[in-house]
Every structure is written in structure tokens, then in C-alpha cells.
């Protein structure tokens, strides 16, 4: 059985001003937020995320001389309310948990303190759990 996961892309724009766009596949389109300062790198940082018009799904892999793909993969929603939603981005190299928080005017993107275990830690935990006890 194959499970299709919704896609995401993080576009890096070099013009007219350097910024990133986070695009999440949802409802047959790419919901999009402009990130003037990129993704937060620590839970102590919140980044402005300005909602921009949805894009067609064919924009997922679109690049040109001013726009490249910084990361691409799939995402999964963990929780949602009217004011925020929590999701995992499964990118090329890492999986990270974020929260988009709706404010009165825009959105804030927050990297959560609680992050998923790296694949090697998950594997070693599984191996430990099934390893027979000595003796």
C-alpha cells in the first residue's frame, strides 16, 4: 500500500529582495507564505510569515534565474486550530517540527523545542527494544 504525502517546497528568491517562500500542498494548490528572513534556526526565534496567494501545483519544482529550491520534500500536519497549526517538514536532509501562528495581521513561523528524533536515534531505539535481554 502506497501513502501519498502532501509536498512542500522552500523556494529561495534572489530578486527583487532576498527572501524565501514556504509552499505547502493542500487542497490541490500550494498554500504559500513569504519568509523575509527564512526559516527559524532555533526555538528562540520567530520569523515573520506573510501569506501570499496560492500557487498551482506545477510551481512545486519551478526554478528560474532568480529563484531556486532550497529544500523540497513532504509534510504532515500534527495539530490545527483557527490560530495555529503544527506540522513536520520532511526535507532532503532533516525532519523539523514548526508551528505557524496566526496573529492579527500576519503569521509567525516558530521552530518547536520538541523535535523528532533523528533517524539514527529512532533506529537504535528500535534495535534496543527488540534485542533480547542478556543472560
How far is the CA of 86 from the CAs of 67, 117, 118, in angstroms? 27, 17, 18
Q: Is residue 97 in a domain? A: yes
Q: Tell me the pLDDT tens digit for each residue of 92-103.
A: 999 999 999 999
Residue 84 has pLDDT above 90, yes or no: yes
pLDDT at 117: 76
* Residue 23 bridge partners (DSSP): 9, 32
Q: Tell me the pLDDT tens digit for each residue of 35-76.
A: 999 999 999 999 999 999 999 999 999 999 999 999 999 999
**Full residue range of the structural domain in which residue 31 is found:** 7-130
* Residue 24 bridge partners (DSSP): 8, 31
* Mean pLDDT of the chain, nearest integer: 87
Specify the pTM. 0.83
- Compute the distance between CA of residue 59 and CA of residue 61 in angstroms, rounded to an integer: 6
Give burial (CB, 10 Å; 0-12/13-18/19+) of 100. Answer: buried
Total number of domains in the chain: 1
SS3 127: helix
Residue 13 has pLDDT above 60, yes or no: yes
Amino acid at each position: 500500500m502506497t501513502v501519498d504525502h502532501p509536498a512542500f517546497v522552500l523556494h529561495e528568491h534572489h530578486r527583487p529582495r532576498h527572501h524565501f517562500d514556504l509552499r505547502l500542498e493542500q487542497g490541490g494548490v500550494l498554500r504559500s507564505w513569504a519568509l523575509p528572513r527564512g526559516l527559524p534556526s532555533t526555538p528562540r526565534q520567530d520569523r515573520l510569515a506573510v501569506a501570499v496567494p496560492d500557487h498551482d501545483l506545477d510551481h512545486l519544482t519551478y526554478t528560474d534565474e532568480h529563484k531556486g529550491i532550497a529544500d523540497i520534500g513532504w509534510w504532515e500536519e500534527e495539530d490545527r486550530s483557527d490560530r495555529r497549526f503544527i506540522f513536520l517538514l520532511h526535507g532532503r536532509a532533516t525532519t523539523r517540527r514548526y508551528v505557524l501562528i496566526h496573529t492579527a495581521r500576519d503569521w509567525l513561523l516558530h521552530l518547536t523545542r520538541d523535535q523528532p528524533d533523528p533517524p539514527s536515534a529512532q533506529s537504535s531505539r528500535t534495535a534496543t527494544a527488540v534485542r533480547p535481554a542478556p543472560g
